[in-house]
Amino acid sequence: MYYKYRGISEWTENFLIKKEIWAAKPSSLNDPFECDIPAFTDAQLKGHIDKIKTNQLTGFVMAANQSHVSGESFFSIQGRSIKLLLNKIKKAKTLDKKYKVANNFYHSIGHNGFSDPKGQTNSLFKFLDKVGIFSLSEDPLNMLMWSHYGEDHKGLAYGFDANEGSDLSNEEYFQPVKYSDQALKVDLSKGLKNALDYYIDEYGQTKLKNRIEINDSQIQSVLFTKTNDWRYEKEWRYMREKFGTYPLPGKLSRIVFGLKCIPKDIERYKFLCKKHIDNKVVFYQVVRVEGGTTLDLKEV
């Protein structure tokens, strides 16, 4: 069971009425280091871009050479024309010049050309700026969590199951947060998993752009790591590629009312739950353990 601490509000009611949650931008959260990686140096960027150009050019040359050897067409050219193109690339003295020859060939036949090698690093920062985060906790009895996120114990905590087939059962999108005091970083020399998206520009031309994949191991580390200051939260994170509203990511099967939640609010949320949620929901309230300083749950 995973819990979302909330204050009493219209937004909190929408979990039940609209059956939706809000995945927030990292910059809107209360951790100033959230998904914050340092800018890359010029040397790092050049090394990364040169590596991408080399890979793109290598693929181009191998495909052209294979077509020449097999006697097949390479796009619109054949035989001697392919050989001339390969020789022109070979004679170019620098990587950038070789790359330009190949890219110019693409453009001469009406092809889009290579995807922008700078696009991957640009899309990385855009991705981290727009990603959506929905934070949950495995602990429904955390004194500080109730104080910070549960309206000083007057709010509630929604309990979600990671039922089979739900988004919370998909570890690509839902994982426990790892706690470390090492600064977040991305090592470009290790590469990043990315995909290409096609889009139509303002002139009606089909273009390519890079898109970072959320399941890249380095990206996952950035998304699911916080400093040890936050360890008490016992956080699990549900991530989406873009911030905004999403359907409930798992079965809402429990509501825990805070120690100071008033009867009027308890009855209100019980009513909304029974009206809008189809599955069985069990209701609890936080109580103080008699004679002690710890909290417990009592079914209500």
Handedness of CA 177, 181, 185, 190 (dihedral sign): negative
Instruction: Give residue 121's Cα distance to chain centre.
Output: 15
Smallest CA-to-CA distance from 173 within 11, 12, 21 is with 21
| Cα–Cα distance for residue pair 21/12, rounded to 1 Å | 9
Q: How far apart are CA 264 and CA 30, in angstroms?
A: 30
Cα Rg for the chain, rounded, in angstroms?
A: 27
Provide the residue count of the chain: 300
Instruction: Give the N- to C-terminal CA distance of the chain in Å, as an integer.
Output: 18
CA distance 113 to 98: 14
Amino acid identity, position 11:
W
Q: Are 23 and 29 spatial neighbours (Cβ–Cβ below 8 Å)?
A: no
Instruction: Identify whether the C-beta of residue 8 lies closer than 8 Å to the C-beta of residue 255.
Output: no
Euclidean distance between CA atoms 83 and 64, whole angstroms: 9
Which residue shows structure tokens 């970083």?
185
- Residue-by-residue pLDDT tens, the chain, 300 positions: 999 999 999 999 999 999 999 999 999 999 999 998 888 888 988 998 999 999 999 999 999 999 999 999 999 899 999 999 999 999 999 999 999 999 999 999 988 888 888 877 888 888 899 999 999 999 999 999 999 999 999 999 999 999 999 999 999 899 999 999 998 888 888 877 766 555 556 666 555 566 677 888 888 899 999 999 999 999 999 999 999 999 999 999 999 999 999 999 999 999 999 999 999 999 999 999 998 899 999 999
Q: What is the pLDDT of residue 116?
A: 84
Classify burial at 139, counting beta carbons within 10 Å of its beta carbon; exposed 0-12, middle 13-18, buried 19 or more.
Answer: middle
- pLDDT at residue 137, as a whole number: 98
